[in-house]
Structure 1
């Protein structure tokens, strides 16, 4: 049964219901059909993929293990080899089954030699020491313990094999192609031998490394970077498209990141642009000239002020002057058409007739964007502290009103949206830094400004103290503003994503995919 529709079977056996509401004139039927159309349209609109969204799926560890097992079984059946040998061959071909089978059919021995596989009946790696045996690693001929050998028949004592494999697995992190200890031998140590030679902890490490290598070998897979998460993300977009698409994905654990470069969500900036921006920000010749903006002076009385919240609406405690933390301008102008805090205005005084003037103009422009980029990052961190304050506010609302715990969740949702929008705004400044100045850029800056104004208004609402008689009013204001802020973020992301796809944006520099 498809979502958003009801089949006839859903009403089977409900004759009482049908008889009670049946109508001769068909008006009920017309109403029902009209309702179905509206509901269907609503579902379609909700499910429609947005321009900045990409198709992806989450693969738990169990699915990754199953995929490896399935591929090994498939290849083993076609080539007539063991599962262990099939897995070794697949790793040599980065799990490309079609290419492996094609190459193997052309020249099987060459492929076996390249992969380090010897076709021989399964034999136990544990062997009896030959008469007069001397281990060529430790040169000890006095021990009577077990020895191990691969199908290449190079025999070594068990303690040396264990030490060799432990070093390869634990210290070097190797799992794809651990070769026989014999110098010049290209035979790969199989899992059966490893299982006999090493303790369980080392074997578990080996298998975990194999899983990591499997995901690393496939371009369509990437591990979720979140701590302690064992999921991988599958995204079938070609890497060549990452100059025009920002492939943001979200794991089932809730962590959102870029599939292209593995960094946290950096929409709307493409990976190559992000790489350039980070390199520029790390350049000492630029950042050494930037003074950290943790404290600033009041524009009226010059008192030193420290920012202690995410909101950029500042009020000097000494003279009560209200100003914007970002541009230091009067706050009264930040809700009107005069708001230009996000837009960099070229200074007419910088004629740039010599190299020194050009350098000053370039640095001034860079600091404009970096200051706002860093400020939104700093504000987002401060806004995260709101989660603790918000929980207390939610508890206070429950005590002082008739709202349930579910009904006060709007505060947490608002903080989630606020933090998300802060990070989007952060990367809009990196995006804007590389944009060429034209009419389309001005439209982008208008959308950026609208989002920024909405974010500051929501941030200010969330920092208001709880007044018992105004809880209902505050709740409605926060709900309305949260929806509006989310919609303004979508406008920015939709516009930039469509512009990248259409090649509409003009950048004053070339950037490549990561």
Structure 2
């Protein structure tokens, strides 16, 4: 890596709380980590969008409805039709204004019929002719008398003959599976109910009317390739991200977005993988998850929460996110990931993240090659699953941190705002563990060479920094050491966040420069 990417633990301590007001991965300009100093007399200028970020816009439910109204108004103006007819035409063409305009100009009658604005055929049951008269014989009279009367109306759908007056399409129904296109149920009739009629029928059923409106909005979002709903349960927000709307774009960018809710929900705009999977592309993330599912029986044992001490073979349970383990029986300090001595992890020889491929080179027969392939997979899967497990344990770490923050307030003169550095540090650790988790999926598919070696250098530096910060957060609180702890945690948090940005930035530039070579065929379609 360039010398610009070299940082030391002895970086200048930034006492200004703004230095910690960071949120990795956001596409907004709130991240001020690029500033070299934080002087109160210097105006902090927000950085431009980073290479690994994409432009996006969070939208509320009302924002989406406003976009719908704008499209309807556009078609109404061009075609000279009512708003309700324009909405029906747009829904028929999946809200594609340009395609609708082209088709409508070619044959307006055909499009109107297909959209359900005009009937395809004359209905088989047009309704009774109220002016029709029939005769009835009167047996009490010696001569025939003709008494006029009207024939009763019989609905051909529900066979109801009690209605004195009916509305057109009165038998239309809503489907439980979320149908928003209400067709006339009469035989050979393709007319679709307009929105004013549906709202009139549902005027006394507010819940169903609201459900109908929601279905219309969801249909609009589903048809618009630039929009996506937030996948988090009970969240009705959506996101606009035109930069990631094409499949070709997903070969050079990982479109992580946020819905803007409180708290913010991060997800990938390009695929259905939960959460943020930077720095790995959507196609690689899908391949990795599929492989993990296919090899789940082989890998289940590695996900166990217990391991044996490599020195005294005592069973040890991991109850925190830090990988620095100490056996309570023999006091041996080791790494939970590779089971090696922890003393070596603080030196320049640290290589816990790298896979030693010697076994694969020496493998000659099919059985040896198969075993080497499995060992290689388990190397990456073990580290991927470990960071995933550590991230899940972050809930416990948050609870422990809150208790420590309360303890700091009681034993020092620090305010609640001044002890927020602990919570911010936990947020950074959680974000970076998510990054590290997916770096192992990427490293598994990277072709061996200088580029992979540089990628693993960044991975190693970030991983070691995260472990150091995790260990600081899990230290017991002593009143006299709180000022020093505050400085160490703040310094290390800034450093860890910077390492995370370096890894994501370099990886994103690698996609644009086509530096990354894969050991498998990657299909982004």
TM-score (norm 2): 0.82
The residue aligned with 1:139 is 159
330-339 or 340-349, which moves further after superposition?
A: 340-349
- Summarize the Cα distance change of 1:275–1:85 in structure 2 as closer, same or farther, 3 Å threshold: same
Alignment-derived partner of residue 404 in structure 2 = 393
SS of aligned partner of 1:52: coil
Structure 2 vs 1, CA of residues 353 and 66 (structure 1 numbering), >3 Å: closer, same or farther? same
Q: Which residue of 2 aligns with 1:260?
A: 270
CA spacing shift, 1:408–1:187, aligned 2, 3 Å:
same
Partner residue, 2:476:
465
Higher relative contact order (CA 8 A, sep 6+): 2
Contact kept in structure 2, 1:248 and 1:267, CA below 8 Å: yes
2: CA distance, partners of 1:330 / 1:145: 89
Q: Is the 8 A contact 1:221 1:235 kept in 2?
A: yes
Residue 100 to residue 504, structure 1, CA distance change in 2 (3 Å): same
Q: Which has the higher helix share?
A: 1
SS at match of 2:173: helix
SS at match of 1:111: helix
Is contact 1:350–1:357 with CA below 8 Å preserved after alignment? no
Q: Which residue does the alignment assign to 1:90?
A: 90
Which of 193, 197, 200 lines up with 1:196 in the alignment? 200
> What is the aligned partner in structure 2 of residue 245 from structure 1?
253
Indicate conservation of the 8 Å contact 1:165/1:194, yes or no.
no
Give the RMSD, CA atoms, in angstroms. 2.2
CA contact (8 A) 1:370 1:429 kept: yes
Residue 115 of structure 1 is matched in structure 2 by 115
SS at match of 2:362: coil
Q: Per-residue deviation at 1:513?
A: 2.5
Q: Secondary structure at the match of 1:58?
A: strand
Residues in 2 aligned to 1:128 and 1:404: alpha-carbon distance in whole angstroms:
81
**Larger mean Cα displacement after TM superposition, 350-359 or 300-309:** 350-359
Q: Is the 8 A contact 1:295 1:307 kept in 2?
A: yes
1:400-438 Cα offsets, whole Å, 9 max, x none, are 111111110101100000000000000000011100010
Q: Is 1:271 aligned to 2:282, yes or no?
A: yes
The answer to whether the aligner puts 1:303 opposite 2:314 as a matched pair is yes
Q: Secondary structure at the match of 2:228?
A: strand
Where does the alignment leave 5 or more consecutive residues of structure 2 unmatched? 1-38, 120-126, 131-150
- Is 2:510 the partner of 1:499? yes
Offset at residue 196 of structure 1 (A): 3.0
Aligned residues: 453
**1:52/1:497 contact within 8 Å kept:** yes
Query: 2:303 — aligned with what?
Result: 292
**By how many angstroms is 1:128 displaced?**
9.2
- Residue of structure 2 equivalent to 1:429: 440
**Larger CA deviation: 293-302 vs 196-205:** 196-205
Superposed displacement of residue 338, structure 1: 1.2
Q: 2:214 matched to 1:208?
A: yes
Q: Is the 8 A contact 1:72 1:90 kept in 2?
A: yes
- The 5-angstrom pairing of residues 358-369 of structure 1 reads 358-369=369-380
Cα 1:349/1:191, change in 2 over 3 Å: closer
Unmatched 5+ stretches in structure 1: 1-35, 120-126, 151-157
The alignment status of 1:56 with 2:56, answered yes or no, reads: yes
Shift of 1:284: 4.3
